[in-house]
Amino acid sequence: MVRSALTRRTATAIVCAIAASTGAQAPKSSLTIAEATKKAAQLGANTVSVHGHFWCGKEGSMIYDSYYKSILRISFSEAYLHKHSSFRSRCGFDIEHKSNLVTMTGHLEAQQDGKLALVTDELTFDN
């Protein structure tokens, strides 16, 4: 078991080295809300993709895991607000969607009240 784990690590390291030398990027995977909140200190201001259920309202917006187990407040970046100037566009209400599942890309930030928020640069609904 130890040998196979080392072999997998070695293979992963080789693939990453080849990808870096050829300029290819490793695919980014989305985090759940729970993973993003647990890893917030490690992630810092780095760009992160988070997948979950999206709720958008005039009093505030959030992304959450199933059954509201983990919740992140949503703030929209200046670039996102500039691109989506209306409330309907910002929340995706201008296009019909089959579900409220989204992948959001942005960075995590502590708000003034100490709660964690995802500052969104991009939002993509699942189809």
Task: Tell me: pLDDT of 14 over 50.
Answer: no
Separation between Cα atoms, residue 32 and residue 38, nearest integer Å? 10
**Average pLDDT along the chain:** 81
Query: For tokens 């409330």, what's the residue?
Result: 87
CA 79 to chain centre: 16
What's the pLDDT score for residue 127?
A: 78
pLDDT digits (tens, 9 = 90+) for 64-100: 999 999 999 999 999 999 999 999 999 999 999 999 9
Q: What CATH class has 28-125?
A: mainly beta
pLDDT tens digits for range 101-112:
999 999 999 999
Ordered DSSP codes for 56-101:
EETTEEEEE-GGGSSEEEEEE-HHHHHH--SHHHHTTTTS--S-SE
Q: How confident is the model at residue 9 (pLDDT cuts 50, 70, 90)?
A: very low
**Cα Dmax for the chain:** 56
Round to whole Å and give the CA distance between 120 and 105.
6
Q: What is the pTM of this model?
A: 0.73
